[in-house]
A and B are shown apart, each in its own frame.
Chain A
Amino acid sequence: MTTRTMQFKIYRYDPERDEKPYMQDISVEVNATDRKLLDALVKLKAKDDSISFRRSCREGVCGSDAVNINGRNGLACLTDLKDLKEPVVLRPLPGLPVIRDLIVDMTQFFTQYHSIKPYLINNDPPPETERLQTPEDREELNGVYECILCACCSTACPTFWWNPDKFVGPAGLLQAYRFIADTRDQAINERLDNLEDPYRLFRCHTIMNCVDVCPKGLNPTRAIGKIKDLMVSRIV
């Protein structure tokens, strides 16, 4: 079986031992069955078990292994090794506090996510079967419900870097639109009121880094635009 050596530069920081972060040069043998960056990371971990990173499902569903790969946010499990320029520079997601190596503290991200009430609000008595939607109404949820909350988008957004405590961020706003657009949800006015704020929604400057990096191919900018459209149609 053909093997080759790949060069990596990995951001290392253990707050209990290191005074400041540093970049570690390390190489690893990969073979033909190692297809994705996560495969190489697992091998790197076997070589140096002090390297820390998150991963779980290893197939782009859980959103755990989001890292900054050669300057661009992405999921290690969905990134093809063969497309990566060497040395592969791996850093934690930018803008969030680093816990250790490639692991970041996602508290701020999830605080923003929870602030948009990411659940269906419907005060009608539950029907005997499920709450139904027409196929057309269901269509509106395509391209928004698929978000896996990996935080690639929000941590690529300069506005989220400057105001992570006040700006909901692309992931949160995409999720907000997911519930605004849901015909089974009855809280559209409260949701729009909740977002009508110079910081929470209108900090978005349509930079579109979120669209550029989303590993699921989603478009938070379009969802943000639709939220603004609904706000406009509410006042004119």
Chain B
Amino acid sequence: MVNKIIVGAHYGLKDWLIQRISAVFMVVYCLVFIILLLGQGELDYAGWRAFMAGGLMRFLTFLFIVNLMYHAWVGVRDIWMDYAKPTSLRFALHILTLLALIGYTGWAVSILWRL
């Protein structure tokens, strides 16, 4: 194995950009969520369920989940890149993070469409 410092993967810009765009989307989602929620009547179980199962809300919430997962992927990967030094350890942590996030996405989607 060559023992040199290797850098030059030529990626990073898109992840950095998507992390920022997803942050903006999540802020907008939270504001829209609060505004729509204030317009609701009584919030019992049936009220919450009707609120979250509406077409617009389901669409926005799905986008929110996708944005959250990509945002979390870039952020958590950054932590591993900062602190996990052995390549094998970092690679394993990347894979575990991806698997967890994909799992969470599927789980969230199944909850959303079960409503």
Contact = CB atoms under 8 A, between A and B. Distances in A.
Interface in B7-38: 7-17
A228 B78 contact: no
Chain A interface, >50% SS class? loop
B9 A203 contact: no
Instruction: Bin chain B's interface residue count.
Output: 10 to 19
A200 B9 CA distance: 9
A54 B10 CA distance: 38
A197 B82 contact: no
A117 to B, nearest CB: 14
Contacts of A187: none
Chain B interface, >50% SS class? helix
Interface string A3-22: 00000000000000000000
Contact of B16 (A193, A199, A228): A228
Given A166-B5, A200-B7, A232 B82 contact: no
A197 to B, nearest CB: 5
B18 to A, nearest CB: 12
Contacts of A149: none
A197 B10 contact: yes
A32 interface: no
B110 to A, nearest CB: 32
Nearest to B5: A165
Contact of A162 (B8, B12, B13, B82): B82
Contact of A196 (B5, B10, B78, B83): B10
Nearest to B19: A202
Interface in A147-205: 159, 162-163, 165-166, 193-194, 196-203, 205
A27 B38 CA distance: 67
B10 A193 contact: yes
Interface residues of A, number: 20
Nearest to B16: A202
A196 B82 contact: no
Contacts of B17: 232
B82 A159 contact: yes
Contacts of B13: 196, 202, 228, 231-232, 235
A14 to B, nearest CB: 29
Interface of B: 5, 7-17, 78, 81-83
21 contacts: A162-B82, A166-B5, A166-B7, A194-B8, A196-B13, A197-B7, A197-B8, A197-B9, A197-B10, A197-B11, A198-B11, A198-B81, A199-B7, A199-B9, A200-B7, A200-B8, A202-B12, A228-B16, A232-B13, A235-B13, A235-B14
Given A197-B8, A231-B13, 20 more contacts: A163-B81, A163-B82, A165-B5, A166-B5, A194-B8, A196-B10, A197-B9, A197-B10, A197-B11, A199-B7, A199-B9, A200-B7, A200-B8, A201-B12, A202-B12, A203-B82, A205-B78, A228-B16, A232-B13, A235-B13
Interface of A: 159, 162-163, 165-166, 193-194, 196-203, 205, 228, 231-232, 235
